[in-house]
Chain A
């Protein structure tokens, strides 16, 4: 089903919301630090108002979230966030092996049945790839990757 929305109005409202959040969060700072951001916030608000007006007078209707499988986007987004947040707790290596493997199995499931054999094969590939990048970054480039609770 194709959804068409008044994207002028929506983006204008979003712009006003962003301007509002930043106006509220500007802090108690001196003139030198805030004069330029103030001007930017006024500009942002002005463009947003212009979009709202255009959305009311001559709206642009666009199809949104119309292409592809929306569930896959949400699923991928969720896995990515959990993967990234887990890095601080269980370290880069473990969370990346887990996150990568779960995402690979999840995306593969839309094309074929993920059998235990395929899952095991994917696990081997994932383990090899994460180990390769881990060694490059941690041992060659000396990037101190998060170790998490298990390796402390």
Chain B
């Protein structure tokens, strides 16, 4: 109880509120720019926190992190470009809604879902840290491999047309992930004699290329910006209360997405980029109207945005308890903690309890601050995009894209690669191979390879090293989930086919 009052009094400081407000706003605008990631936002703001007391520094960074992950949804909804990889699935539904004059509704839903997701993440972190931390260390190399394979089952729902073309796209993405220095052997592969390819294809570079460039070409081809003027109905549905009602009307989707977000968050290296896709896939699978997905289904936005914001606080579970940063932004936060002499582990929750709990609760406050900041910021960005003539909008997006890609590694080669991948993505899209499975392959490729090769290395003493892939109980559970995930669309189609004749028979029965 004394700890609670300590935390409460520490946080009831106007300066703390100002830090959270500033952090969320800064994070939101950085996240909204394609190429500028949450990790970059935290790294840039890091020097400003050096002179602050430890709690204030951590509060500011937590707020920036929360804002940046949420900010990615703005670009996803308004220009079909996920600002961060955590918002890929938001673009699938948000952009069709925006094209349909429902941009403000999509922004309202993303805002409320993100805030609820952020609060859920804090709840999990406060109450379930020890058991979740124990679960996170169960994940070895074999489990990572199977998690990546489980992720590949998403391809079926990320391919709007042919599933076969989706798998082709996924394979292309995974091969692109293999370019450069091998993660285990350390040798150069697929560099074609070009030293610039040794660093591989950066995932965000590919993400920007595959999503932004085709959209730019489409805007140029149609001679107009793609967004329609927002309708009165969308304006009404975009208010906080209306969005909250809509989000709360799908509790199953919300709870499932938050749980998925938390589970993915505690696996180091996975994070929001995978959580949003998995949650989206499950929302589509559980929906009574899966055919609406890809055309502006609100369930998709709720799933994606709630799950990705759970990962912000969720990834703090392995960080605060075991010192394992789950994602690059967590590494920055770990650095700040170590700089102030705070070591992850039990002491963090006992000796430095008021500081640690203060930081955790401040992330919940940041989630709440996202609502006013996001709703106002979203309207502002929407107005700018709609009012700008397309002949200025297209080169403006190109400029930000070039800058964002370059700033990732200060490399012009990345910009050229982005442009080449984007042009290829446009051509592939015309052939029916969507960009989403390619990017998914890129995200999962390196995780799968690392897990696969490390597991085989661990089993070199065995007669059949590959058996190591199946040895662990957790691996077996993931394999079962993977098989179910692959089979479920076919099983449900089979059940529907079986039910149809029975229903017809029942309809034909003469009334007594």
List of A residues within 8 angstroms of B217 by Cβ: 73, 76-77
CB-contact partner of A146 in B168, B412, B432, under 8 A:
B412
List of A residues within 8 angstroms of B44 by Cβ: 141
| Residue B470 interfacial (CB < 8 Å) | no
| Residue B410 interfacial (CB < 8 Å) | yes
| Residue B189 interfacial (CB < 8 Å) | yes
Cβ distance B60 to chain A, nearest Cβ, rounded Å: 17
| Residue B391 interfacial (CB < 8 Å) | yes
| Residue A62 interfacial (CB < 8 Å) | yes
| Residue B12 interfacial (CB < 8 Å) | no
CB-contact partner of B395 in A27, A44, A100, A110, under 8 A:
A100
| Residue B423 interfacial (CB < 8 Å) | yes
Chain A interface, DSSP helix/strand/loop, else mixed: helix
Indicate whether A33 sits within 8 Å of B189 (C-beta atoms), given known contacts A8-B162, A11-B168, A96-B402. Answer: yes
* Structural contact, B399 and A129, CB atoms closer than 8 A: yes
List of B residues within 8 angstroms of A116 by Cβ: none
Specify which of B161, B182, B188, B415 lies most central, judged by the most chain A CB atoms within 10 Å of its CB: B182
| Residue B419 interfacial (CB < 8 Å) | yes
* Structural contact, B391 and A11, CB atoms closer than 8 A: no
Indicate whether A51 sits within 8 Å of B164 (C-beta atoms), given known contacts A33-B189, A100-B399. Answer: yes
List of A residues within 8 angstroms of B172 by Cβ: 15, 18, 44
List of B residues within 8 angstroms of A40 by Cβ: 171, 174-175, 178, 445
CB-contact partner of A72 in B165, B168, B223, B432, under 8 A:
B223
* Structural contact, B453 and A36, CB atoms closer than 8 A: yes
Cβ distance B402 to chain A, nearest Cβ, rounded Å: 6
List of A residues within 8 angstroms of B415 by Cβ: 84, 87
Interface string of A61-74 (1 = CB under 8 A from B): 01011011110110
List of A residues within 8 angstroms of B400 by Cβ: 133
* Structural contact, A84 and B220, CB atoms closer than 8 A: no
CB-contact partner of B192 in A7, A25, A30, A44, under 8 A:
A25
A84-116: which have CB < 8 Å to B?
Answer: 84-85, 87-88, 92, 96, 99-100, 103-108, 110-111
Q: What is the CA–CA distance of A10 and B390 in the complex, to the nearest angstrom?
A: 32
Cβ distance B149 to chain A, nearest Cβ, rounded Å: 12
List of B residues within 8 angstroms of A8 by Cβ: 162, 164-165
List of B residues within 8 angstroms of A88 by Cβ: 412
* Structural contact, B410 and A144, CB atoms closer than 8 A: yes
| Residue B457 interfacial (CB < 8 Å) | yes
B421-459: which have CB < 8 Å to A?
Answer: 423, 426, 428, 430-433, 445, 448-449, 452-453, 456-457
| Residue B502 interfacial (CB < 8 Å) | no
CB-contact partner of B188 in A29, A60, A67, A137, under 8 A:
A29
* Structural contact, B168 and A32, CB atoms closer than 8 A: no
| Residue B137 interfacial (CB < 8 Å) | no
List of B residues within 8 angstroms of A77 by Cβ: 217, 423
Q: What is the CA–CA distance of A65 and B185 in the complex, to the nearest angstrom?
A: 43
List of A residues within 8 angstroms of B165 by Cβ: 7-8, 11, 51
CB-contact partner of B175 in A22, A27, A75, A129, under 8 A:
A22
* Structural contact, B396 and A129, CB atoms closer than 8 A: yes
Q: What is the CA–CA distance of A31 and B192 in the complex, to the nearest angstrom?
A: 19
List of A residues within 8 angstroms of B456 by Cβ: 35
List of A residues within 8 angstroms of B412 by Cβ: 84, 87-88, 146
Q: What is the CA–CA distance of A150 and B71 in the complex, to the nearest angstrom?
A: 37
* Structural contact, A14 and B222, CB atoms closer than 8 A: no
| Residue A125 interfacial (CB < 8 Å) | yes
Q: What is the CA–CA distance of A41 and B174 in the complex, to the nearest angstrom?
A: 9
List of B residues within 8 angstroms of A107 by Cβ: 220, 223, 390-391, 394-395
Q: What is the CA–CA distance of A23 and B451 in the complex, to the nearest angstrom?
A: 23
Indicate whether A104 sits within 8 Å of B391 (C-beta atoms), given known contacts A29-B185, A51-B168, A60-B432. Answer: yes
* Structural contact, A29 and B182, CB atoms closer than 8 A: yes
| Residue B216 interfacial (CB < 8 Å) | yes
List of B residues within 8 angstroms of A48 by Cβ: 168
* Structural contact, B403 and A137, CB atoms closer than 8 A: yes
Closest chain A residue to B217, Cβ basis: A73
Cβ distance A69 to chain B, nearest Cβ, rounded Å: 5
| Residue B495 interfacial (CB < 8 Å) | no
Cβ distance B381 to chain A, nearest Cβ, rounded Å: 16
Indicate whether A47 sits within 8 Å of B390 (C-beta atoms), given known contacts A26-B190, A30-B187, A133-B400. Answer: no
Q: What is the CA–CA distance of A64 and B161 in the complex, to the nearest angstrom?
A: 14
List of B residues within 8 angstroms of A35 by Cβ: 453, 456
* New A-B pairs, 8, CB < 8 Å, besides A44-B172, A47-B168, A68-B218: A30-B187, A32-B182, A40-B178, A51-B168, A65-B430, A84-B419, A111-B223, A143-B403
Which residues of B are in contact with A by a Cβ distance under 8 Å?
44, 161-162, 164-165, 167-168, 171-172, 174-175, 178, 182, 184-192, 213, 216-218, 220-223, 389-392, 394-396, 398-400, 402-403, 406-407, 410, 412, 415-416, 419, 423, 426, 428, 430-433, 445, 448-449, 452-453, 456-457
Which residues of A are in contact with B by a Cβ distance under 8 Å?
7-8, 10-12, 14-15, 18, 22, 25-27, 29-37, 40-41, 43-44, 47-48, 50-51, 54, 60, 62, 64-65, 67-70, 72-73, 75-77, 80-81, 83-85, 87-88, 92, 96, 99-100, 103-108, 110-111, 122, 125-126, 129-130, 133, 137, 141, 143-146
